[in-house]
Amino acid sequence: MTGILSQLYVLYADISNRVMDTLSDFAPRVETYSIDEQYLDMTGMSRNFPLEDYGRKIQQRILQIAHVPVGVGFAQTKTLAKLANHAAKTWTKTGGVVDLSATSRQKRLMSLVPVNEVWGVGRKISNRLNAMGIVTALDLARAETTMIRKTFGVVVERTVRELNGESCIELEEVAKTKEQIICSRSFGKKIELYEHMHQAICEYSERAAEKLRAEKRVCSFVSVFIQTSHYASGPQYYNHRSERLEYPSADTRDIINAAVRLLKTIWKSGVKYHKAGIMLTDFSDPSVTQLNLFSDSKPYKGSEQLMKTLDQINNRGVSKIWFAGKGMDTNWRMKREMLSPAYTTRISDLPVVKI
């Protein structure tokens, strides 16, 4: 019998924060690219010590503090650094560290890497490149930039230039403001009752509103979608609707009300729903938001303070307080029956040694 542990996002986020905080000590400028990836500006570092040795120090420190192995790749551009990191993780003989500063090493590695492994080259583009005889990363690096730009656009042209050591993608020390927030989940068991879907949409609306306030933004558009599974037998159904709010808001009540109105317009009985979600878009700064002079709807009085209090309470633990719309029935929620232990954030999950 094989058991699969459910994902525990709190544990992953905590480990990620430990890794990112530690990495920030190794370079003057850093960019957090994703939950498990960070770029470090190593300009001038190679004059003081071999980069490969520095990579080993990074590995040792991360292992000591976060207890996870990491791959380290050095190169002149982000795209080459991604390739170096790919090699560090793929070939065990590297020991998890690859310095791709030398042009000869770049060409050798690129000759071994399929073009679909290059950052920014998706499956569709790689299929078209293969049809043109561009099979490896080195083939792409040697491609004529004018032809690439004409055929695939400026993004792939930029990738070609990056593969040739020309830095075209700047380090972003400050994270870009999000353009959209999406909260969606597959259900633990198929939903057939409107009541259960109503609860799910209310819960996702709450979470999306929390994320929106964390970004210190308000939104003007709310979208909702519901769908059946592509692989299940029986009637297939997918639908979505969007609505512009009467005024930009980050108040959970406004977002829930809009989401429920949208759900009512797309709900279809007699099908088994596998997934649903909510999306918030058209963000703006709450300090410069303009209200519609011709609308009878006005923001809730004391909205900002109420939402702030709500977030403060829930920051002490997920769903300490919630809106009644999401109900108490949890049968439809995503199954999390075999959660990984939260070793780093929950004392009760720490291993116990009896002596």
Question: Each residue of 160-177: pLDDT tens digit?
Answer: 999 999 999 988 766 666
Band the pLDDT of 16: cuts 50, 70, 90.
confident
Statement: residue 287 has pLDDT above 60:
yes
pLDDT score, position 4: 41
User: Do 153 and 275 lie in a common domain?
Assistant: no
User: Do 143 and 231 lie in a common domain?
Assistant: no
Band the pLDDT of 208: cuts 50, 70, 90.
very high
Statement: residue 328 has pLDDT above 80:
no
User: Do 33 and 150 lie in a common domain?
Assistant: yes
CA 75, CA 226: separation in Å to the nearest integer?
44
What's the CA angle centered on 161, arms 157 and 164, to 5 degrees?
145
Higher model confidence: residue 296 or residue 13? 13
Statement: residue 5 has pLDDT above 80:
no
User: Do 214 and 249 lie in a common domain?
Assistant: yes
pLDDT score, position 221: 94
CA 128, CA 347: separation in Å to the nearest integer?
52
What percentage of the chain has pLDDT greater than the value 90? 56
The mean of the pLDDT values for the chain is: 86
Q: Containing domain of residue 145, as a range?
A: 9-163
pLDDT score, position 147: 96
User: Do 230 and 156 lie in a common domain?
Assistant: no
Higher model confidence: residue 173 or residue 26? 26
Higher model confidence: residue 294 or residue 103? 103
User: Do 123 and 232 lie in a common domain?
Assistant: no
User: Do 111 and 186 lie in a common domain?
Assistant: no
Q: Give the pLDDT confidence of 229-286 residue by residue, as tens digits.
A: 877 788 899 999 999 999 899 999 999 999 999 999 999 999 999 999 999 998 988 8
Which of 47-56, 157-166, 209-218, 313-322 bottoms out in mean pLDDT, i.e. has the lowest? Answer: 313-322
Q: Can you give the CATH number for the domain in which 115 is found?
A: 3.30.70.270
Q: What is the mean pLDDT of residues 201-217?
A: 92
User: Do 186 and 159 lie in a common domain?
Assistant: no
Q: Give the pLDDT confidence of 32-65 residue by residue, as tens digits.
A: 888 889 999 998 887 888 999 999 999 999 999 9
Q: Can you give the CATH number for the domain in which 238 is found?
A: 3.30.1490.100
pLDDT score, position 57: 96
User: Do 129 and 219 lie in a common domain?
Assistant: no
Q: Give the pLDDT confidence of 83-116 residue by residue, as tens digits.
A: 999 999 999 999 999 999 999 999 999 999 999 9
User: Do 125 and 244 lie in a common domain?
Assistant: no
